[in-house]
A and B are shown apart, each in its own frame.
Chain A
Amino acid sequence: MNVVLFRHVSQKIKLYSTLIQYRTAIAQAQLHETQTHHHSQQPHELDPLKPPHLDHDRMTMHPRIGNREIVGYGMKGNPDYFDLAMFPCPSIRWEVDTPEVKKLREKEQGDWHNLTIEEKRKLYRSSFRQTFEEFTQPEGIWKWSFGWGLIAFAGLTFIYDGYRRLVYTFDPPDSTSDEKLKTQLQYHIAARQGPQTGLSSEWDYEVGTWKKNVGKDGKSIKPIKSREE
């Protein structure tokens, strides 16, 4: 486990993989009354900013949770905190035990009518991270789902289009060569396309050439298309 972090300690440490083993070991030791250090089972009065006091139990069971008191079985017996609607009571308290909280706990042992609302709220928050209302709120994940769905759809459309452009290519036809364009022009003129304002209006059919147009400025207008002279 995390024994690597504590290499200076000898290898005689017993590692308990479940909280049940830990508790039975403690119970057995208490039965035989050989264990004199009961302090290791209780939370120490510590500065929460300093690393916790190292002893056998802390090094084996809860190097991750620090000073926090183990209060229950929880979900699977591990000393982990959780906020779940299925299991109201987690296995450890949420916050570390500070001297202020210790004072409140002592006050809690008396009459609860003496506790103010603020003190009760502090006690609650020291034991639990979120209230039921807070962790059962809807998180609005449907917005993300809808957005990513639209983005995925757009992305797939782009990929589909790009694939088609990449794969289904053709050599361009040769109808854009000059020869073919010339014959095309002849056909258009023969078919009288654009007789009033278009192409054929610039062709002088009696002579067989392009008309010589004179513009408003007195200069000749050259037609745009290539001519057959």
Chain B
Amino acid sequence: MAHLVRVGLQCFSSQKTRLISLPLNNSMFNQQQTRLMSSHKKETDEEFDSRWETYFNRPNIDGWDIRQGINHMHRLDLIPEPRIIIACLNACKRVNDHSLAVRYLEAIRHKSTLGSKQIWPWILQEIEPTLKKLGVSTPEDLGYDKPELALKSVEEA
């Protein structure tokens, strides 16, 4: 939009054009885009979070789709926001799969403790009301923060 304005001014004025300082640059349309090298819009954090939240908040969600979502999200280089985790736990409740919820919490715990030890307690603190409401046990409650069985790995067999 901005460059069209500039071209128009160049066409119709013989004098040297002066760029009017209207807010017609890219920052009006996309708050987050500070680099001007790529023209396609990048998704904001808010959009990302709400997209995943609506994905898990679908009322007819399938166990298949929850697992797909968990696997996909776990591959991304991030730890999900507490509201996404809450949406996922609610979805697990709708599907009546408690062990899936525990598995998801374990995955988040594993991923977060790789970076720092402060993230997991904070996440637990944020999702505490949901855990109490649904009755989901944390991995610590089940004793799975320490290894229980010593089974051979698949490569050893």
Contacts and interface: CB of A to CB of B under 8 A. Distances in A.
A89 B136 contact: no
Contacts of B70: 88-89
B128 interface: no
A129 interface: yes
A112 B102 contact: no
Nearest to B92: A112
B156 to A, nearest CB: 8
A149 interface: no
Contacts of B141: 117
Nearest to A106: B96
B151 A130 contact: yes
Contacts of B97: 108, 127
A88 B135 CA distance: 21
Contact of A86 (B75, B136, B143, B146): B75
**Do most interface residues of chain A lie in helix, strand or loop, or is the interface mixed?**
loop
Contacts of A71: 63-64, 67
A111 B66 CA distance: 20
A127 B100 contact: yes
Contact of B151 (A74, A88, A134): A134
**Do most interface residues of chain B lie in helix, strand or loop, or is the interface mixed?**
helix
A121 B142 contact: yes
A111 B132 CA distance: 12
A124 B135 contact: no
B68 A87 contact: no
A73 interface: yes
Given A112-B93, A120-B102, A124-B99, A129 B151 contact: yes
Contacts of A74: 67, 71
B6 interface: no
B97 to A, nearest CB: 7
B147 A133 contact: yes
B86 to A, nearest CB: 15
Interface stretch (A7-15, A40-48, A135-143, A212-220): A135-143
B135 A123 contact: no
Interface of A: 71-75, 82-83, 85-89, 91, 105, 108-109, 111-115, 117, 120-121, 123-124, 126-137, 139
Given A72-B71, A120-B98, 11 more contacts: A72-B67, A75-B71, A87-B74, A108-B98, A124-B98, A124-B142, A126-B99, A131-B139, A131-B147, A133-B106, A134-B149
